[in-house]
Amino acid sequence: MKVARICFALLALAATSVASAREADTVSLQIQNDEPGAQISRQLFGQFAEHLGRGIYEGIWVGPDSSIPNTRGIRNDVVAALKELRVPNVRWPGGCFADEYHWRNGIGPIEQRPATLNPNWGGVIEPNTFGTHEFMDFVRQIGAEAYLSVNVGSGTPQEAADWLEYLTTDQPTALAKQRAANGHPEPFGISFLGLGNENWGCGGSMTPEHYVNLLKIFARYSRNYNAKHPMLKIAVGPDTADTSYTEAVMQAWKGRNWSWDIDGISLHFYTVGGWPPKYLATGFGEKEYAALLAETLRMDGLIRTHGAIMDKYDPEKKIALVVDEWGAWLAPTEGSKEGFLEQQNSQRDAIIAALNINIFARHAERVRMANIAQMVNVLQAMILTDQEKILLTPTYHVFRMYVPFQDATFLPIKLEAGEYVYGETSLPRLDAIAAKDKNDKMWLSITNLDPNRPVQVEVPALGAKRVRGEVLSAPRIDSVNTFASPKVVTPQPFNATAAKGKIIVKLPPHSIAVVAFEK
Ligand code: AHR
């Protein structure tokens, strides 16, 4: 009897401490709105669409004869969803695919285009039905700018030069006439041009010196003839922590002559935690959750490392660091085709997206463009499709909630939120950024990394009467949207009124809030 009473008392004590651990404590955050920083370029919210798996075919392109509603072959539901994100730019056609892509296969009457192979991604047939004109139509439909990558791995400088002439000249050259015959008399505007892709890896395993020699040639001859539409050139830069390309490309740039130039170098870093990708997209536990968030936060250190090398050669920050491949790369969905890189997308991935965007924003002076990998049906996608069905992933919702940060001015914040600790992994409990938009409206995004503890964040109202926005939370860290239940993870409205000059933003465990300060 006595033993039973003691046990009951212990149970009651345990229950109390669990309850108090889950009560929201209050943390204070200050926005330093009198110390504006750099502009958070909208190009940081760029996306990547490669000829890979069901990314282009089915995900974007269904063809004009499809029963899936489409405009000139491009599916309407995907376009409508992407328009909401105000996607600033789309990188195409790869990826590894770009360094084996021959653009001439993708122009002219569709029925005459050759079938080729896609050896990188499942060895499937590439029908070339989605080519230059279809891509340019797609970016126009979603209101984005074009970021093309030319083939440096297996192509020639002449092939790249021809593509640029075909795309951009308004002179009546043979290539311009061919473009007109293919339906586009006016020159296209190409905003960004990638000079190769991962030439340290799938793009030819080149030494930095070899790549730099090619870079100068491709940078020279890949000319933009459309004076009304400037084009920035982006060289291949580092793979994760390897600094050899950063050093070589920046050193070459510093010593450049009149004949060539670049505007950016790329960085590729995936949240993967080792190859082959082992982290599960669903059904994972807190240990894996904490480990993967720790992995994603490496992005900050990588930007610092490569940024320091860039500063050495380019203290004025003329060259942008372009993180044109980032995101979670997880174990593929069971039963999906090998090489198609299909994975579900959970609330954890939404947090991964928010943390990376926050890191980019904090480095906005140097990081002026980024592209999540990838857009539809591949890796950390915005959208998943199954034939005519479509769903928006938790990552999509983050990109939609962050739209007000596009081109806004970064505002520093002070936040001491403590830590979230799991075993030997210690992470910041909260992460946040603030910015002021063109109308002087202040925006705040807060992410609660802690999967167990809710939190109340107390913020000086700075003259605002209320905050209004959305919170993205989910029942579990591995909650996902499915075709059967597409709204499990969906933003909910959030409103709070200022009292005594303070506003309280309440965040459930593992959630993201984006709010505007309203006068
Ligand atoms: O995004 C998938 C692949 O990852 C890209 O094709 C390549 O550039 C990178 O290794």
- Which band of pLDDT confidence, cut at 50, 70 and 90, is reported for residue 1? very low
Q: Is 239 in the pocket of ligand 1 (CB under 6 A)?
A: no
Residue nearest to atom 6 of ligand 1 (CA): 95
Q: Which CATH class is domain 42-409?
A: alpha beta
415 CB neighbour count, 10 Å cutoff: 19
Strands (E), 127-197: 145-150, 192-195
pLDDT score, position 13: 38
User: Is 458 known to be catalytic?
Assistant: no
- pLDDT higher than threshold 60 for residue 18: no
Contact 208, 250 (CB under 8 A): no
DSSP structure string for 242-305 = --HHHHHHHHHHHT--TT---SEEEEEEEE-SSSS----SSS--HHHHHHHHHHHTHHHHHHHH
pLDDT score, position 438: 96
- pLDDT higher than threshold 90 for residue 218: yes
Residues in the chain: 519
Question: Mean pLDDT across the stretch 52-69?
Answer: 98
Residue nearest to atom 4 of ligand 1 (CA): 95
Q: Are β-strands 466-472 and 492-497 bridged in parallel, bridged antiparallel, or unpaired? A: antiparallel
Give the residue, out of 267, 268, 323, with the most ligand 1 atoms within 8 A of its beta carbon, to mutate for a pocket test: 268
Q: What are phi and psi of 300, to 5 degrees?
A: -60, -50
Distance in Å, CA 298 to ligand 1 centroid: 19
Q: Which residue has the tokens 């075709």?
A: 483
The secondary structure of residue 210, as a DSSP letter, is H
Residue nearest to atom 5 of ligand 1 (CA): 95
Reported as a single tens digit per residue, the pLDDT across 315-367 is: 999 999 999 999 999 999 999 999 999 999 999 999 999 999 999 999 999 99
**Residue 91 and residue 70: Cα distance in Å, rounded?**
22
Atom of ligand 1 nearest to the CA of 379: 1
Task: Tell me the one-letter amino acid at 170.
Answer: D
Residue 303's closest CA among 372, 360, 386?
360
Task: Tell me the one-letter amino acid at 312.
Answer: K
- Which band of pLDDT confidence, cut at 50, 70 and 90, is reported for residue 21? very low
- Three-state helix/strand/coil letters over 305-355: HHHHHHHHHCCCCCCEEEEEEEEECCCCCCCCCCCCCCCCCEHHHHHHHHH
**Residue 106 and residue 122: Cα distance in Å, rounded?**
20
**Residue 518 and residue 362: Cα distance in Å, rounded?**
24
Reported as a single tens digit per residue, the pLDDT across 415-431 is: 988 999 999 999 999 99
Residue nearest to atom 8 of ligand 1 (CA): 95
Question: Where is 176: in which H helix or E strand?
Answer: helix 174-181
Distance in Å, CA 209 to ligand 1 centroid: 22
* Active-site position among 58, 134, 145, 198: 198
Question: Where is 358: in which H helix or E strand?
Answer: helix 347-362
- Which band of pLDDT confidence, cut at 50, 70 and 90, is reported for residue 4? very low
pTM value? 0.95
- pLDDT higher than threshold 80 for residue 455: yes
* Active-site position among 50, 134, 165, 325: 325
User: Is 325 known to be catalytic?
Assistant: yes
**Residue 130 and residue 455: Cα distance in Å, rounded?**
47
Reported as a single tens digit per residue, the pLDDT across 92-108 is: 999 999 999 999 999 99
- pLDDT higher than threshold 90 for residue 8: no
- Which band of pLDDT confidence, cut at 50, 70 and 90, is reported for residue 477? very high
Q: Where are the domains of the chain?
A: 3-35+429-518, 42-409
- pLDDT higher than threshold 80 for residue 7: no
Contact 323, 360 (CB under 8 A): yes
Q: Cα dist. 505→455, 467, 493, 515 in Å?
A: 8, 8, 12, 9
Domains 3-35+429-518 and 42-409 share a fold: no
Distance in Å, CA 322 to ligand 1 centroid: 15
Q: Which CATH number does 3-35+429-518 carry?
A: 2.60.40.1180
Contact 358, 513 (CB under 8 A): no
Residue nearest to atom 7 of ligand 1 (CA): 95
pLDDT score, position 22: 62
- pLDDT higher than threshold 90 for residue 16: no
**Residue 355 and residue 116: Cα distance in Å, rounded?**
39
Q: Is 94 in the pocket of ligand 1 (CB under 6 A)?
A: yes
